[in-house]
Structure 1
Amino acid sequence: MKIRLERDVLAEAVQWAARSLPTRPSVPILAGLLVRADADGVMFSGFDYETSARISVKAEVSDEGEALISGRLLADISRSLPAKPVDITSDDTKMQLVCGSARFTLQTLPVADYPALPELPEATGAVTSAEFAQAVSQVVVAAGRDELLPVFTGVRVEIEGDTISLLATDRYRMALKELTWRPSSTNASAVALVPAKVLSDTARSMTAGEEVVLSLSAGPGGGSRGEGLIGFEGHGAGGDRQTTTRLLDGEFPKVRHIMETPPLMNVRVNTAELVAATRRVALVAERNTSLRMAVGDGSITLEAATGDQAQASEALEASIDQPGGGDAAVSVVGFNPTYLLDALGAFDTPYVNFGFTAPSKPCQLTGLAEPDGEPLTDYRHVIMLMRLPA
């Protein structure tokens, strides 16, 4: 194999393909990055039996061929090279990189031992890349991180016609985002449980092109069960990118109905002001204790303390209404400050609405374009309230 390509093209392609390689592979061969050159250019690909990534870029190819090399080492080297064209040659045992006066010789791995990458399933539809990246970032904040409960570490992707719904929960909070897309079939209908980390990394890395093509292959059990596979494909100036990952197995909890509970009290606050106040007051919040929100007449007050050592409070102007009338639904509630900041950070609207039902019941957050406008229900975030000491 003998190829030449620009340093920036090489560095971006290798880093993208190597980003999902395991740091501690179950077998050493999985730490490798497969480099394959043909008349169309060069493809860099990696696979750990769960997630695959491949990127194709243009290059001057003198001799076609393939080689398997340590992915993370190649990524480190490509980043450090001077801004000059890079010549790469390889034989059965060595790969050589020459860039200006810099020269590296690397030991190759046996290509014959490398597993075959899965093929992309048939395209299910396409979605605007920037909109998809934002939607995923809003939802993954509510996904679990405990690998002992894998079903909570996923994002449930629901496809129904021209609508995609993304839903995640870690049992203490929940996020739902709905967006329109361009399905391959007008009667498209599917459900998949996708690892949240893979989905987040993929959505962020596919923004170079205008669209992301989703390809879904359900397992024999249908939906999110069995050996299902989901693929993502994007095209941009940095090359053609493809990622696949196996779907998570297990039954996602039926939690969506929680979002349909009508609120007894709405509290509307400026988002930026609330984020800033929450960060200040939370500085004195003791570990595993709540940040209290006291609802008053036309205002809310945030309070936190660390025993007798430090206390903080801050009042903010708020608009309060009770759709059902009657007495106030809540007067003081407790939030996990981290969960509250995560939720507020996911909103891109100038105002946010807190929909309360009772002090010990979940609270639903929705965005507002104006303080007296209707809540925007395309993104909803639910937080379980913390019990306050009597």
Structure 2
Amino acid sequence: MKIFCSKDALLSGVNAVQRAVSNKNPLPVLQGILIQADNQSLQFAATDLEMGIRCDVPAQVTEEGTMIVPAKLFTEVVRKLPDTTITLEEKDQQITIGYYQSEIILHGYDPEEFPLLPDLIEPLSFELPTMIFKNMIKQTIFSCAAEENRPVFNGILLQIEGTNIRLVATDTHRLAYIISEITNSGESRFSGIIPSKTLSEIYRLLRDEDEVLNISYSSNQVVFQFGSIYLISRLIEGQFPNYKQVIPQTCETKVYLSVREFLDAVERASLLSRDKSGANIIRINVENNELRIDQSSELGKISEQIGIEMEGKDVRIAFNAKFLIDALKVIDSDRILFELSGPFSPGVMRPLDNPNYIYLVLPVRTS
């Protein structure tokens, strides 16, 4: 195998696939990136057996072939190469990287041992604008659980029903829900839990110029295709909780307030809210068209007042400050409706100009 290509092309290839390289799998070949040269292009591929990514970049191919390079080392080498035409040559699992009158030789892996990324057999598929999906990921993914003891909470529920696409994420303490319209000529239906790692990669790789995202799916896998990227991922097995039962249909108190004012106040109060146990709890008091946060700790104290419009009962309630901040940072609207029903019921945020987004957060019981 022998090819000529630019440093930028190599870099875009390794950057696209490197997050799919396995760091835990004992199979050495999975710590590599497969590079295949044919038809005047290079195809990069990597997988950890849960997720796989392929990417094509332009190259001048003088001899077709396949090689597997050590991912971490190859990526570091490529980043430090000069901006000139690079030669890649492989012979007997030895990879020679040539530039100017210099060369670097790396030891590769046997391509025969690399598991090929499958193409789905007779998949169902649909398309939607990439910016819509990217925004949907941004507004939900932070609500996934970080711990891996209950896998269904490490993913996001993706549902297709007619012309609606829905993402739902929860870690059992909070829940983010968003729905958008798509063109779904086949009226196909789908419901699957996609690992948060997969969707964070989609978010990272989607670019503004990638206008259309194609999503294909089978019973246990899903494929995302956009630009030169092909990403396949397993679906998480298990039953996602019935989120419709969790979202309150009524409330006792409606609070209309500015997202920016609320976010700034919560962030300031959170600086003084950390107690000895590491908790980051803020106490909110809503009365007389005013939202007040009074916070004190061994670090000091703060009193924040925000002018609001309210309907219904006065309420005192406490929340984990981080759970409020995470949501307020991704809500694109200027104002929200914050629905409350006493100190022990969940709070629900709804952007005033977007009825398709809901964020639910459980309160913290305080003494």
With the shorter chain as reference, the TM-score category is over 0.9
**CA shift for structure 1 position 203:** 2.7
Candidates 358, 362, 368, aligned match of 2:342: 358
Q: How many residues align?
A: 362
- Distance in 2 (CA, whole Å) between partners of 1:214 and 1:379 is 22
Q: Which amino acid aligns with 2:74?
A: L
Say whether the 8 Å CA contact 2:152–2:240 is kept in structure 1. Answer: yes
**CA shift for structure 1 position 171:** 0.5
Q: Which amino acid aligns with 1:321?
A: E
Candidates 282, 286, 292, aligned match of 1:295: 286
- Distance in 1 (CA, whole Å) between partners of 2:253 and 2:300 is 31
Say whether the 8 Å CA contact 2:224–2:231 is kept in structure 1. Answer: yes
1:231 lines up with 2:223 in the alignment: yes
1:115 corresponds in structure 2 to 115
2:301 corresponds in structure 1 to 311
The alignment's TM-score, normalised by the length of structure 1, stands at 0.89
RMSD: 1.5
2:318 corresponds in structure 1 to 334
1:221 corresponds in structure 2 to none
Say whether the 8 Å CA contact 1:123–1:184 is kept in structure 2. Answer: no
**CA shift for structure 1 position 116:** 2.0
**CA shift for structure 1 position 204:** 2.7
- Distance in 2 (CA, whole Å) between partners of 1:40 and 1:162 is 39
Equivalent residue runs for 1:1-390 within 5 Å: 1-120=1-120, 122-183=123-184, 185=186, 187-207=187-207, 208-218=209-219, 228-235=220-227, 240-285=228-273, 286=275, 287-307=278-298, 309-322=299-312, 328=313, 330-369=314-353, 376-389=354-367
Say whether the 8 Å CA contact 1:93–1:109 is kept in structure 2. Answer: yes
**CA shift for structure 1 position 4:** 1.2
Q: Flag the 1:303–1:101 CA change in 2: closer, same or farther, 3 A.
A: farther
Q: Flag the 1:111–1:265 CA change in 2: closer, same or farther, 3 A.
A: same
| Unmatched segments (≥5 aa) in structure 2 | none
- Distance in 2 (CA, whole Å) between partners of 1:234 and 1:146 is 30
Q: Deviations over 1:136-179 (max 9, x none)?
A: 11111111111111111110111001111000111100010101
Q: Flag the 1:279–1:101 CA change in 2: closer, same or farther, 3 A.
A: farther
Which shifted more, 333-342 or 257-266? 257-266
Structure 1 vs Structure 2: percent identity of aligned residues? 24
Q: Deviations over 1:94-128 (max 9, x none)?
A: 11112335521111101111112111453511111
The alignment's TM-score, normalised by the length of structure 2, stands at 0.95
Q: Deviations over 1:65-106 (max 9, x none)?
A: 000111122111111111112111111221111233552111
**CA shift for structure 1 position 260:** 4.5
4+ runs deviating over 4 angstroms: none
**CA shift for structure 1 position 289:** 4.8
Q: Which amino acid aligns with 1:150?
A: P
**CA shift for structure 1 position 184:** 5.1
Say whether the 8 Å CA contact 2:215–2:223 is kept in structure 1. Answer: yes
Q: Deviations over 1:264-314 (max 9, x none)?
A: 21111111111111111110112225201110212101122225x421121
